[in-house]
A and B are shown apart, each in its own frame.
Chain A
Amino acid sequence: MKPIRTPVPLLAIFLVFFRIGLFSFGGGLSGWIYREVVTLRGWMSDSDFLSGLALGQVLPGANVTNLSVYIGQQLRGPAGAFCAVLGLLTGPFFAVIGLAVAYDRVVDMPWIQNAMSGAAAAAIGLLLIVAVKGAYQASRRLTSFGILAATFVTVGLLQWPLVPVVLCLAPVSVTLAWPRTGSDA
């Protein structure tokens, strides 16, 4: 809700997402995006980020692309969204083709695959930090914590399909959040 005082430069948006895209192994991207956008630069708040993340997961499209569109849009409108997505996808575009060209040689080198597994595991560490922070914030209210736990158990442990679960939990969660928004605002 705090107004953005000076607009974030488009080049800065592009560069942040370019770096994240190029080094994002194994799907830990949202953790890294959180770190760059919220923790280091303060471009948006915790709840801004997390609600955008939930929105992006319900909409069609790769989750991380949607999250980038959301963040870019919030920061600088259409140009911001364009720069964020372009930055995010440019590196991987060339990397994935390069890897495909070199694939036959890479399969014979197990240490490369092991190194990539290790990098992916470390990226999960980034994601864990966001999850712990979110859990900590949610734990200040019993209802929020219950919603977080329900989401994790159904989607993570029971492997229920994500979209129906979110569509069922969201109205409940929003209704529970309703009475307290007046005092928070």
Chain B
Amino acid sequence: MRENPLWTLVVVFVPFSLVSIGGGPSIFAGIQHQSVAVYRWVTAREFVDLFAIARAAPGPGSMLVTLLGWKVAGWSGAIVATLALFVPSSLLCYGVSKMWNHYRGRHWHTALENGLAPIGAGLILAGVFAIFRVAGAGLLSWAIAGVSALILAWRPKLSPLLVLLGGAVTFAAVQAGLLRI
């Protein structure tokens, strides 16, 4: 019994979309199990490579599924897998956002907004730590992050691209310098 591979991608990724609470990291283990052990789309080694690529490339880390779809069925697989993972959760989020907007101005809405804002700020701060922990970043990364923040606080209109470029060049240069020593 051979099913249409595109349909299989939909069947596998749509449920992951709806349980990925907290974002991509919460479903990576499950996706690995499905694509390596159950459907054998990729080997365990390939999966780790794809994971690293998705992390290195711009965009959410869950673009990992784009690569899995690509491995399974080329361009159409990549598109189908991406839609399967991002559309269901986006529709849900759309519904919630719409309700959120609809009740704007009500007393309880203002209370919710004022109550959620400090949590959002705390989550960002926690996210900064989490990214550094996952990346295994050292002192250099922290220094670059700190200096970038200072530069952007000092010159808010400066293009972030320049700052990112500065960070990239600095990091690569220091690492290359260390290698020679």
Q: Contact residues of A with B, CB < 8 Å? A: 1, 21-32, 35, 39-40, 46-66, 69-70, 73-74, 77-78, 81, 85, 88-89, 91-93, 95-97, 99-100, 103, 110-111, 113-135, 137-138, 144-145, 147-152, 155-157, 159, 161-163, 166, 169-170, 173-178, 180-182, 184-185
Per the 8 Å Cβ criterion, residues 126-157 of B in contact with A are 126-132, 135, 137, 140-142, 144-153, 156-157
Decide yes or no whether B5 CB sits under 8 A from chain A. no
CA distance A45 to B31 in the complex (A): 37
Determine if A117 and B135 form an interchain contact, defined as CB atoms under 8 angstroms apart.
yes
Q: Is the CB of A96 within 8 A of B164?
A: no
A26-B131, A73-B101, A121-B141 as given contacts; A58 in contact with B117, CB under 8 Å: no
Is A128 in contact with B128, judged by CB distance below 8 angstroms? Answer: yes
Bound CA span A70–B101, Å? 9
State whether A185 touches B110 (Cβ < 8 A).
yes
State how many residues of chain B have any CB contact under 8 Å with chain A. Answer: 94
What's the Cα separation between A99 and B121 when bound, in Å?
33
Q: Which residues of A contact B11 (CB under 8 A)?
A: none
Q: A64-B60, A78-B94, A148-B118 are contacts. A96–B169 as well, Cβ < 8 Å?
A: no
Number of A-B pairs whose CB atoms are under 8 Å? Answer: 366
Interface string of B162-181 (1 = CB under 8 A from A): 01111111111001100000
Most chain-A CB neighbours within 10 Å: which of B117, B157, B167? B117
**Besides A51-B112, A100-B50, 7 new A-B residue pairs in contact (Cβ under 8 A), listed by A number:** A52-B100, A66-B89, A121-B167, A122-B148, A124-B131, A148-B125, A182-B107
By a CB distance below 8 angstroms, the chain A residues around B153 are 129, 132
Tell whether, in the assembled complex, residue A97 and residue B67 are in contact, meaning their CB atoms are under 8 Å apart. yes
Considering only CB atoms, which chain A residue lies closest to B83 in the complex? A89
Q: Nearest residue in A to B24 (C-beta to C-beta)?
A: A62
CB-CB under 8 A for A92 and B111, given A59-B93, A138-B117: no
| B53 contacts partner chain A, Cβ-Cβ < 8 Å | yes
Query: Chain A residues with Cβ under 8 A from B166's Cβ?
Result: 122
Q: Is B98 an interface residue (CB 8 A)?
A: yes
Residues in B with CB closer than 8 Å to A117 are 135, 137, 141, 171
Say yes or no: A125 contacts B149, CB within 8 Å. Answer: yes
Tell me which of A25, A151, A177 contacts B123 (CB under 8 A): A151
Provide the residues of chain B in CB contact with A166, threshold 8 Å. Answer: 119, 123
Q: B142: which A residues are within 8 A, CB to CB? A: 121
Interface residue from B101, B116, B140, B167 paired with A54 (Cβ < 8 Å): B116
Of all chain B residues, which has the CB nearest A53? B120
Name the one of B20, B98, B114, B122 contacting A62, with C-beta atoms under 8 angstroms. Answer: B20
